[in-house]
Structure 1
Amino acid sequence: MSVRRLYRSALREQWRGGVVLLGCSVLEGVPAFFSGRLVELAVDRGFGAGRAGIGLVWLGAFGVVALLGAFGSRLVWRQLGKVVEPLRDALVRAVVRGVLHDPSPPRNSADASGVARITQHVEVVRDATGGLLVQARGMVVTTVAALAGLVTVAGALMLPVAAPVLVAVTVFAFLLPSLARRQRALALADEHAAATVGAVLSGMRDVVACGAEPLAGLAIDDAVDAQARAATRVAQAGAARAVVIGLGAFVPLVLALLLAPGLVRRGELTAGAALGALVYLATTMEPALRGLASTATTVVLRLMVALRRLAETAEVPEPVDGQGRPRGVDLHVRGLTFGWGAAAEPVVRDLDLDLGLGAHLAVVGPSGIGKSTLSGLLTGLLEPQAGRVLLGGVPVREVPAELRHQLVTLIPQEAYVFAGTVRDNLGLFNATATDAQLLASADAVGAGELVRRLGGLDGELGHGDVSAGQAQLIALARVYASPARIVVLDEATSHLDPVAEARAERAFAARGGILVVIAHRLSSAMRAERVLVMDGRETALGSHEELLTRSSRYAELMRAWAPAPVPRHAKAGLTSRVPLTVPAEHHPPQ
């Protein structure tokens, strides 16, 4: 679903609030419709006729009507949050989905541009929608009510008043495209400045180490200057808009002042009607026109630009769920190629790989060589530039999302723990798991003692309550308790000591299914059935012993990590397989 469709859908879902706003609008427009008429009656039937008391009564009625309008405005503000806040939540979810599906996200740094979209563009949409529901809606209601009242009081002035208003509105509409382009340029400049400053600040240590402070400062200066120039162009366009609307709002009032005396002398208008017409123009329609133009510039334009920008970055391709269901859970990779950008050197090139049930693969290689990228490709988080990843014979990204999330799980290096009970955290991916199953899963990966220290499954847990290693144990137990048949550990044990890491990997290997380990330590390769060595253009696949003899890169890595020879019996029993349903207490000794 596109952002624009999402925007319209989110607003339609709040139709009850819209009906309430419509009722409030009618109540809010009552003063604009009756103001001039009540002034006319106060003059013609009261003060002008020598009956001051009657005039005061009509003015009192004017005050009562104004109170009704104020009450209607108060109701509008009370209803605003019920319409706007659900819209903001829906847009934030769309932006996050867009960031997660970005084919070229920032690497090893925060996505400052994505943060800018959430904190700026989404808030612009939220505030602009609120402005439309309060200001623009109220001003349209006020203008229509004032024109309707003017017709009833001084119809002879309608044509000379309406002509300059129509001219001003037409010219203003002609200026809107230019205003929109300049507003969009400002939005892009804001986003670029946020990304530039964020990149420099997050990499400040490297900037200083390389002596690149002048270049970094110049990049920030350029971004800020571009932002300032864009803001200046928007201000200039806004000034031109203000002149046009000012003339459109001021000329009708001048014409009414020039024409009204003659109409009164000829008997076409009463003095009260002339004064009522001026009330409509000076106190109701003129401010409403100015406010409507201002809102159209500062609210409608910003809303259009923000929605367009969000559409460019937050739209996710329509899901292709349901096109195919996998026949089994085996993984077949053919000609897999991926690079971070159209012109970038591929980090994965022409890779072929077959992983059936019971497979245990370790992926090793220098840092930054593309191991984590491969995990994203295998799990369907990234789309290959060439080649295919087949899950049960179906491209992994075409497997229905709900089913894919049940079958395939990726555990990243930074484990996520949320506020709630230990049970909530462990059962996140398996809502039907019993307490016994959750405890068995924790024991299997070595998290049992941690669970007991936290107070058992009913213990309360927050992100700051556990260390990074403890958070990884909870994440491992969570996935162990899930129905996932394909588990990818992307340095998911990096904060554990070697003994704890070995226990967790052995537990998943004995669990069944397919296990892929992005190795943090090369001991993971020795426990695996097969090892994939990634080294830029070249890859090698084989067992630990095979790669020691035919892969110079693997042998070099192993010598740097463990100079002493590793006995063959060190691997004994580490690749045994048992069915997924075997209880934890039947697993091989840890």
Structure 2
Amino acid sequence: MGPYFRALMGRRRAVLALLGWSVLEGVPALLSGRLVGLAVDRGFAVGDVWTGIGWLVAFALVAVLGGFGLRQVFTRLGDVVEPLRDALVTTIVRGVLHDGRSHRRQPDASAVARITRHVEVVRDATAGLLVQARALLVTTAAALVGLATTVSSLAWLVVLPVVAALVLFGLLLPSLARGQRALVMADESTAEVAGTVLLGMRDVVACGAQSHASADVVRQVDVQAGATVRMAWASALRGIVISVGGFLPLVLLLVMTPGMVAAGALTAGQVLAAVVYLSTSVQPALRRLADTTSTVVLRLAVALRRLAEAAPEVAEQTGDLVPGGDGAVELRGVTFGWGEHAEPVVRDLDLTLTRGSHLAVVGPSGIGKSTLAGLITGLLAPQAGSVLFGGVPVREVRPAERHRRIALVPQETYLFTGTVRDNLALFAPSASDEVLAAAVAAVGASEVVARLGGLDGAIGHAGGSLSAGEAQLLAAARVYACDADVVVLDEATSNLDPAAEAVVERAFAARDGILVVIAHRLSSALRADHVLVMDGGAPLLGSHERLMVESATYGDLMAAWKPAVATG
């Protein structure tokens, strides 16, 4: 429930505005009975019709005033609930996309249900709570105060039945909560089972399993229907209990007051005032109490609980650990595959990279080299083993610290519309022009920047004025300008010629941090201190000379490579 309450606290002013207008809305409940009673006792009952009408006109004006307050409440309701929904959707989408417990690439039907159903339930329930619970408190308090000050001798006729109804209703709440949760769980299970069958329809038909799949869906629908019926019976019983608290006071009033009026203890206007307070304020408030508690509050509690079950997925991405100063990267028995039953693309990998390490990763296309980059940077979680940065799990490192100290340069370059300076300083906003110019020179991008007009030069939409190779040079300079300890170049120089690629790699290698190059050309392996060969089996790690002897895959790759196109 943390994200929920944080989102509400962020809208404190809007909530306070709702409460302020609620006071105005409650004025009719406070004065309604008294004004009607005065109209009878001081007007109609003594033959002064115009005085009676005057009091009723005053009642009408008060009702209009309360209606204006209610209108303002609904007008400002969106200022609270819409930002709340946006915040919850952001939280749950982030949790689903960074699900650390599963590495399936199949859509998560349960997660979709959480987003589309539970977030909307929370939004609607919060709106209902702000409207109904707020009105319940204001209206009930105002009506009871008005009743007590107008006809105090009749207060007990209201209090006893209402307390009895509230006690019985409280006894029903646990079963209502269980029923509501069972209904929500049944809805989710139905969505998940039906989603799984629909997504795998081809496999179902190919295996001749239509009857089995249909039976699974029908069985879950029956469970859902049963939960709905049980919840309906519980709701009906709730209605009976609330009716006792709402109508019994009126019955008692009709039985007790004729004698009191005949004895002169009460006037007709006071009796009518009590009826107005009961019928227009207290009784509707009790019905709203039943609706608010047994539907709105229960639905809100269940939905928030289900949403909170996605919070660990988010928490895995928002750790608070700080890595050690050495910034070493360690992979211990790391295994990862794209699916629960898929063949791992990384298997039992042990790797240690310390400051000054320069590693090249080579292997056929699609063998898992980019996956390894995702594991090192913490974008992916291993299915087995651990990835450590500075001695702590990389995915538990404080996000700001991880983003500052680990940089991934992908093959696809992102440049935004703005100046060259803005683009280069994206990861180092406080860097001086001298630092940016030095980064540009180090990676060999000086000519590109000069052609654009220097640091004040403009870059068009998505880098449209640049070639793919020039964009990659600027992306390399941008990362070079930041103080990242670990730099992963994931085919980040694929659009450069071999000579320019060598300049970029040597520049990063000279920074005395950790450099990992997902090789586009085998010339990268010749420049590295160590080479990791990935060929679908157990990864092999060693120097170029050693791998030429021990790895047939590496030898074949080198034999097929034409050194004439490389600059080393």
Aligned residue in 1 for 2:54: 57
Cα distance in 2 between the residues matched to 1:105 and 1:421: 41
Aligned residue in 2 for 1:532: 532
Aligned residue in 2 for 1:297: 294
1:48-447 paired onto structure 2 within 5 Å: 48-99=45-96, 101-196=98-193, 224-315=221-312, 316=315, 321=320, 324-336=322-334, 348-349=347-348, 351-362=350-361, 364=363, 374-381=372-379, 388-393=386-391, 395-397=393-395, 399-411=397-409, 427-432=425-430, 437=436, 440=440
**Letter of the structure 1 residue corresponding to residue 403 of structure 2:** H
**Letter of the structure 1 residue corresponding to residue 350 of structure 2:** L
Deviates more, 1:172-181 or 1:390-399: 390-399
Q: How far does the alpha carbon of each residue in 1:88-111 deviate from its partner, in whole angstroms, 9 at most, with x for none?
A: 344344334433553223532344
Cα distance in 2 between the residues matched to 1:374 and 1:253: 74
The alpha carbon displacement at 1:313 in A equals 1.2
TM-score by length of 2: 0.80
Tell me if the contact between 1:476 and 1:504 (Cα under 8 Å) persists in the aligned partners. no
Q: How far does the alpha carbon of each residue in 1:73-131 deviate from its partner, in whole angstroms, 9 at most, with x for none?
A: 12222332333344334434433443355322353234444444333323322322222
Gaps of 5+ in 1: 574-590
The alpha carbon displacement at 1:305 in A equals 1.1
Deviates more, 1:142-151 or 1:398-407: 398-407
Aligned residue in 2 for 1:584: none
Tell me if the contact between 1:444 and 1:504 (Cα under 8 Å) persists in the aligned partners. no
Cα distance in 2 between the residues matched to 1:217 and 1:525: 55
Q: How far does the alpha carbon of each residue in 1:282-301 deviate from its partner, in whole angstroms, 9 at most, with x for none?
A: 12221221122112222211
What secondary structure, in the 3-state scheme, does the structure 1 residue paired with 2:402 have? helix
Cα distance in 2 between the residues matched to 1:571 and 1:139: 78
Judged with a 3 Å threshold, the aligned counterparts in structure 2 of structure 1 residues 484 and 180 are, in CA distance, closer, same or farther, namely: same
Cα distance in 2 between the residues matched to 1:204 and 1:525: 46
Q: How far does the alpha carbon of each residue in 1:322-341 deviate from its partner, in whole angstroms, 9 at most, with x for none?
A: x6453244423344466899
Cα distance in 2 between the residues matched to 1:128 and 1:206: 40
Aligned residue in 2 for 1:34: 31
Tell me if the contact between 2:448 and 2:470 (Cα under 8 Å) persists in the aligned partners. no
The alpha carbon displacement at 1:166 in A equals 1.8
Deviates more, 1:19-28 or 1:270-279: 19-28
Judged with a 3 Å threshold, the aligned counterparts in structure 2 of structure 1 residues 108 and 342 are, in CA distance, closer, same or farther, namely: closer
Tell me if the contact between 2:104 and 2:340 (Cα under 8 Å) persists in the aligned partners. no
**Letter of the structure 2 residue corresponding to residue 16 of structure 1:** R
Aligned residue in 2 for 1:566: 561
Cα distance in 1 between the residues matched to 2:224 and 2:473: 46
Cα distance in 2 between the residues matched to 1:174 and 1:418: 61
Cα distance in 2 between the residues matched to 1:361 and 1:488: 10
**Letter of the structure 2 residue corresponding to residue 461 of structure 1:** H
The alpha carbon displacement at 1:320 in A equals 5.7
Judged with a 3 Å threshold, the aligned counterparts in structure 2 of structure 1 residues 281 and 478 are, in CA distance, closer, same or farther, namely: farther
Cα distance in 1 between the residues matched to 2:231 and 2:475: 49
The alpha carbon displacement at 1:530 in A equals 3.5
Query: Which of 508, 511, 514 lines up with 1:511 in the alignment?
Result: 508
The alpha carbon displacement at 1:376 in A equals 3.8
The alpha carbon displacement at 1:138 in A equals 0.8
**Letter of the structure 2 residue corresponding to residue 275 of structure 1:** L
**Letter of the structure 2 residue corresponding to residue 487 of structure 1:** V
Cα distance in 2 between the residues matched to 1:467 and 1:358: 31
What secondary structure, in the 3-state scheme, does the structure 2 residue paired with 1:538 have? coil
What secondary structure, in the 3-state scheme, does the structure 2 residue paired with 1:107 have? coil
The alpha carbon displacement at 1:68 in A equals 1.4
Of all paired residues, the percent bearing the same amino acid is 53
**Letter of the structure 2 residue corresponding to residue 39 of structure 1:** V
The alpha carbon displacement at 1:485 in A equals 3.6
Q: How far does the alpha carbon of each residue in 1:146-204 deviate from its partner, in whole angstroms, 9 at most, with x for none?
A: 22222223333322322222222222222222222232233334444444555566666
Tell me if the contact between 1:364 and 1:518 (Cα under 8 Å) persists in the aligned partners. no
Cα distance in 2 between the residues matched to 1:477 and 1:213: 57
TM-score by length of 1: 0.77
Cα distance in 2 between the residues matched to 1:226 and 1:362: 52
Cα distance in 2 between the residues matched to 1:117 and 1:265: 62
The alpha carbon displacement at 1:66 in A equals 0.6
The alpha carbon displacement at 1:361 in A equals 2.4
**Letter of the structure 1 residue corresponding to residue 540 of structure 2:** A
Q: How far does the alpha carbon of each residue in 1:513-560 deviate from its partner, in whole angstroms, 9 at most, with x for none?
A: 4333456888876776543345677332124564454345x35xx85x
The alpha carbon displacement at 1:47 in A equals 0.8
**Letter of the structure 1 residue corresponding to residue 122 of structure 2:** V
The alpha carbon displacement at 1:25 in A equals 1.6
**Letter of the structure 1 residue corresponding to residue 61 of structure 2:** V
Cα distance in 1 between the residues matched to 2:472 and 2:217: 38
**Letter of the structure 1 residue corresponding to residue 538 of structure 2:** E
Deviates more, 1:222-231 or 1:21-30: 222-231
**Letter of the structure 2 residue corresponding to residue 42 of structure 1:** A
The alpha carbon displacement at 1:345 in A equals 9.0
Judged with a 3 Å threshold, the aligned counterparts in structure 2 of structure 1 residues 221 and 567 are, in CA distance, closer, same or farther, namely: same
Question: What do you get for the CA RMSD once the two structures are aligned?
Answer: 4.6
What secondary structure, in the 3-state scheme, does the structure 2 residue paired with 1:269 have? coil
The alpha carbon displacement at 1:226 in A equals 4.6
**Letter of the structure 2 residue corresponding to residue 281 of structure 1:** L
Cα distance in 2 between the residues matched to 1:106 and 1:45: 78
Tell me if the contact between 1:502 and 1:524 (Cα under 8 Å) persists in the aligned partners. no
Cα distance in 2 between the residues matched to 1:396 and 1:476: 23
Tell me if the contact between 1:362 and 1:518 (Cα under 8 Å) persists in the aligned partners. yes
Judged with a 3 Å threshold, the aligned counterparts in structure 2 of structure 1 residues 272 and 334 are, in CA distance, closer, same or farther, namely: same
Judged with a 3 Å threshold, the aligned counterparts in structure 2 of structure 1 residues 99 and 502 are, in CA distance, closer, same or farther, namely: farther
**Letter of the structure 2 residue corresponding to residue 352 of structure 1:** L
Deviates more, 1:473-482 or 1:338-347: 338-347
Tell me if the contact between 1:421 and 1:461 (Cα under 8 Å) persists in the aligned partners. no
The alpha carbon displacement at 1:365 in A equals 6.7
Aligned residue in 1 for 2:44: 47
Tell me if the contact between 2:89 and 2:115 (Cα under 8 Å) persists in the aligned partners. yes
What secondary structure, in the 3-state scheme, does the structure 1 residue paired with 2:331 have? strand
**Letter of the structure 1 residue corresponding to residue 280 of structure 2:** T
The alpha carbon displacement at 1:42 in A equals 0.7
Deviates more, 1:503-512 or 1:98-107: 503-512
Q: How far does the alpha carbon of each residue in 1:265-319 deviate from its partner, in whole angstroms, 9 at most, with x for none?
A: 2322211111111111112221221122112222211211122122221141696
Tell me if the contact between 2:489 and 2:518 (Cα under 8 Å) persists in the aligned partners. yes
Gaps of 5+ in 2: none
The alpha carbon displacement at 1:69 in A equals 0.8
